[in-house]
Amino acid sequence: MTDTARTTDWSAWQHSWDRQQEWYMPDREERFRVMLDMVEATVGPEPRVLDLACGTGSITDRLLQRFPNATSTGVDLDPALLTIAEGHFAGDDRVTFVTADLKDPAWTRALPHESYDAVLTATALHWLYSEPLAALYGQLAGIVREGGVFMNADHMIDETTPRINAAERARRHARMDAAKAEGVLDWADWWALAAKDPLLAEPTARRFEIYGEHADGDAPSAGWHADTLRAAGFGEARPVWCSPSDTMVLALR
CATH number at residue 107: 3.40.50.150
* pLDDT band (50, 70, 90) for residue 7: low
Distance CA 29, CA 6 (A): 30
pLDDT at 3: 44
CA angle (203 as vertex; 202, 209 as ends), nearest 5: 95
* pLDDT of 4 above 90: no
Helix/strand/coil (H/E/C) assignment for every residue in 39-55: HHHHHCCCCEEEEECCC
- What is the signed CA dihedral for 8, 14, 15, 16, rounded to 10 degrees? 80
User: What is the pTM (predicted TM-score) of this model?
Assistant: 0.94
The secondary structure element, H or E, covering residue 249 is strand 246-252
> For residue 116, which of 92, 87, 143, 134 has the smallest C-alpha distance?
143
* pLDDT band (50, 70, 90) for residue 1: very low
User: What domain count does the chain have?
Assistant: 1
* pLDDT band (50, 70, 90) for residue 43: very high
Distance CA 199, CA 178 (A): 32
How does pLDDT run across 85-128, given as a tens digit for each residue?
999 999 999 999 999 999 999 999 999 999 999 999 999 999 99
Q: Structural domain of residue 175, as residue ranges?
A: 3-252
- Mean pLDDT over the full length of the chain: 94
pLDDT at 15: 95
